Amino acid sequence: GAERFGSRGAGSPPPPPGALDTGDPRTRRYRRIDVQLNIMSFLSPQDLCHLGSTSCYWRAAVQDPLLWRYFLLRDLPFWTSVDWKSLPDVEIFNKAFSEVSDNALYDYMAAYKKSCPQSRRSLKSSRPRYGTVTSFLQSLVTQAEPRFAMFGPGLEELDDSLVQKMMTCPEILLVAGLPQRQIHGIGSGVSFQFNNNQKFNILTLYSTTSVERRRARAEQAVAVNKMFYQENSIVGNQQAVHYSVIAQVKKVCEVVDGFIYVANAEAHKKHDRQEELARILAMIDPALGPSNRPLLVLSCVSHVGVKRIPCVYVAHQLQLNLLRQPWMVQDTVAATLDGLLSGIEWLLEEANCKNAQ
């Protein structure tokens, strides 16, 4: 128990001087708690909840904050999605457990249940289905497919092209057509069909021309992003970077129902998340449209074998907690489109909820 959890159970007072005598009953109690915690750490959180329902003693035992902090820090790197309602507080990463007094412990058990994708899915499945019916009836009236602007470095920096895969995998995502709706030179985007049912449109916005992107990749350089222009401002004593979008992109931002940001989540690459956030803020600027339009962040790697940055870390690096609209980060693999449909499903639901309002 000492190797995994330290010398005592969380919430227990330290043994008083003289209590280290092996015959002291209090010492045996601390040892029993250590062994108990160590055993429980090998159970799954679901098993712990079942154990807690067996008696008052075990209900109190399985709520130990130290145990749930261990689960949270162990499991969150493997979670494949996180959203604006479930992102764990950054405090769990930055503050040592011993820094918090016993009467003000962070509720790690509640944080785990709120953040765990399995818990979010079970909550979602338990909700009434009338919202889907409402969205379906509304689609019959409007006959308009939602449009989303897709942008970000993951579209251009990865070895596998996410867009090319989306266009050539009808068994995963069916291309429904190329609408003839021009938006000031940007194009009309591509219409897809989700689960052979709802249609939606994606306008892909690249940083520059295809020729310049190919040249940058060949030279292993960063292409100049022509979607934005920089405006510097002074905040306090420091110069802050602020971006605005060019006129053509502005027209897109004014008409879309949401945004898809493709982040490069490959761990071996360098990332300037502060600049990425500044560009996200330029796209979702409330001056360009409703402030509640959803943002889907595809935390993307080229293929399965590439080591990725966990989506919870990507969310914190991009400081998505500063955003006021609904957002979700979804792990995605460009070569296989793994995770893409889960992200699209969330985006369509949020867009339908926004339109219903």
* Confidence (pLDDT) at 14: 44
Nearest to 356 by CA among 240, 257, 209, 208: 257
**Residue type (1 letter), 248:** Q
Position 288 confidence tier, pLDDT thresholds 50, 70, 90: very high
Please give the average per-residue pLDDT across 72-91, as a whole number: 91
Give the integer Cα–Cα distance in Å for 230 and 83: 29
φ, ψ for residue 304, nearest 5 deg: -60, -35
More confident call, 170 vs 219: 170
Position 306 confidence tier, pLDDT thresholds 50, 70, 90: very high
Could you give the C-alpha distances from 266 to 153, 159, 259, 308, in angstroms and in order? 11, 11, 21, 5
Say if residues 298 and 339 touch (Cβ distance below 8 Å). Answer: yes
Give the integer Cα–Cα distance in Å for 300 and 283: 20
CATH superfamily of 144-356: P-loop containing nucleotide triphosphate hydrolases (3.40.50.300)
What stretch(es) of the chain map to CATH 3.40.50.300? Answer: 144-356
Please give the average per-residue pLDDT across 319-339, as a whole number: 97
| 3-state class (DSSP) for residue 313 | helix
The fold of 27-95+105-126 is Monooxygenase (1.20.1280)
Say if residues 92 and 72 touch (Cβ distance below 8 Å). Answer: yes
pLDDT at 17 over 80: no
pLDDT at 286 over 90: yes
Average pLDDT, the chain: 80
Of 9-18, 123-132, 347-356, give the lowest mean pLDDT range: 9-18
pLDDT at 336 over 90: yes
pLDDT in tens, 130-153: 444 444 444 444 447 899 999 999
pLDDT in tens, 21-65: 455 555 555 555 577 777 777 777 777 777 777 888 877 777 788
pLDDT at 125 over 90: no
* Confidence (pLDDT) at 179: 64
Angle at 339 between CA 335 and CA 203, to 5 degrees: 75
Nearest to 85 by CA among 305, 315, 260: 315
Please give the average per-residue pLDDT across 300-323, as a whole number: 96
What stretch(es) of the chain map to CATH 1.20.1280.50? Answer: 27-95+105-126
pLDDT in tens, 185-230: 556 689 999 887 889 999 999 988 878 877 877 777 777 889 999 8
Position 11 confidence tier, pLDDT thresholds 50, 70, 90: very low
